[in-house]
Amino acid sequence: MKRTTTRLADGRELLYYDRVDGSPRAAVDRRPLPPVDRSVAPSEIRHHPLLGEPVAYAAHRQARTYHPPADQCPLCPSRGDRLSEIPAESYEVAVFENRFPSFGGDTGRCEVVCFTSEHDASFASLTEEQAALVLHAWTDRTAELLRLPGVTQVYCFENRGVEIGVTLAHPHGQIYGYPYVTPFTRRAIDAVAGHRARTGANLYDEILAAERADGRRVVLETGAWTAFVPHAARWPYEVHLYPRRRVPDLTALDEAARAELPGVYLELLRRFDRIFGPDAPPTPYISGWHQAPVGIGDEARDDFALRLELFTIRRSPGKLKYLAGSESGVGAFVNDVLPEAAADRLREVASGT
């Protein structure tokens, strides 16, 4: 794998990831962009006194690109006079600093990950070799961002579908380097610590062992990975993917897990697209890697479990799961699909069946 680092016209970092060494990535960004003022933080972070949670404000994001036509996509390669965020005429995987970041400067970092130069593709349409290159980019960026003084937690994720709120159709994801421990992660860390204090055991290990022993909600299993619908799933179709050997983040995966992951992940995404039948539009989803923060202490970091959480807000053909009064108002989820039924369906739509 080869990584090439360069700069965009305004000074933002751009990285190309290629499977093999080739011609140098020497294309220059020809856009007349003003330099990024890194002395000014792009967001303000306030603290919610009742919930005990941080809230970020990034008002400049109101001006970000919104549903451009395909011939004006900022994530496609630059060709001729049509200039984009990626100066090269082609690429395999490209990562760059977000032009409209939620965090930046001394308070985190936001990056965009372009999975392929093909505008009409999707992650599920990638080959295993292409997916492995994205995994390499996620791993490399996790390691780099965790070394930045303003980053506490790294979250690699993809929002897919206009129903989720995606404003660019090109297949891409994002990486957030949060300047704090996110609320869901903090609650999980506290739960794991409490369980350790009460029982002396690791809560993640027990969850995985219980799901494998029960078997009703397991949807895919290999030598290194187990994917299951959690016993208390909050979303209509929700899958958690755990490595069988607990590790804190992507950088710690062993070679066996790293080799199997592209095929496992692609199979899960392809099953999601088959949940609602062959004539249904692509399934909207959120997919994200939960990784251990830094600065939480060695014991808490060692007890953390890397995992992928993949879910859709579609509950049946043509119907979405809205977070209305109960969910948005008081955080009390009411699910429309039993986890066991969701797992049955995800097994039914396995490749080759």
Tell me whether residue 172 is one of the annotated catalytic residues. yes
CA pair distance 210, 208, nearest whole angstrom: 5
Closest of 233, 247, 256, 319 to residue 283, by C-alpha: 319
Contacts of residue 134, Cβ cutoff 8 Å, sequence gap at least 6: 93, 113, 115, 123, 126
Cα angle: 171, vertex 292, 306; to 5 degrees: 65
Closest of 93, 97, 92, 75 to residue 84, by C-alpha: 75
Q: Where are the alpha helices (DSSP H) in 147-254?
A: 183-199, 203-214
Residues that constitute the known binding site for Zn(2+): 73, 76, 119, 170
Query: What token pair was written down for 276?
Result: 């609602």
- Helix, strand, coil abundance in the chain, percent, nearest 5: 30, 25, 45
With beta carbons less than 8 A apart as the criterion, state whether 247 and 307 touch: no
Residue whose pair of structure tokens reads 């579609």 in the numeric block: 314
Phi first, then psi: give them for residue 348, nearest 5 degrees: -60, -35
- Please list the residues that pair with 304 across neighbouring strands: none
How far is CA 216 from each of CA 210, 213, 229, 252, 339, rounded to the nearest angstrom? 11, 9, 9, 29, 9
- Options 67, 136, 172, 290, the catalytic residue: 172
Tell me, what DSSP letter sits at residue 292?
A: P
Would you please indicate which residues are annotated as catalytic (active-site) residues? Answer: 172
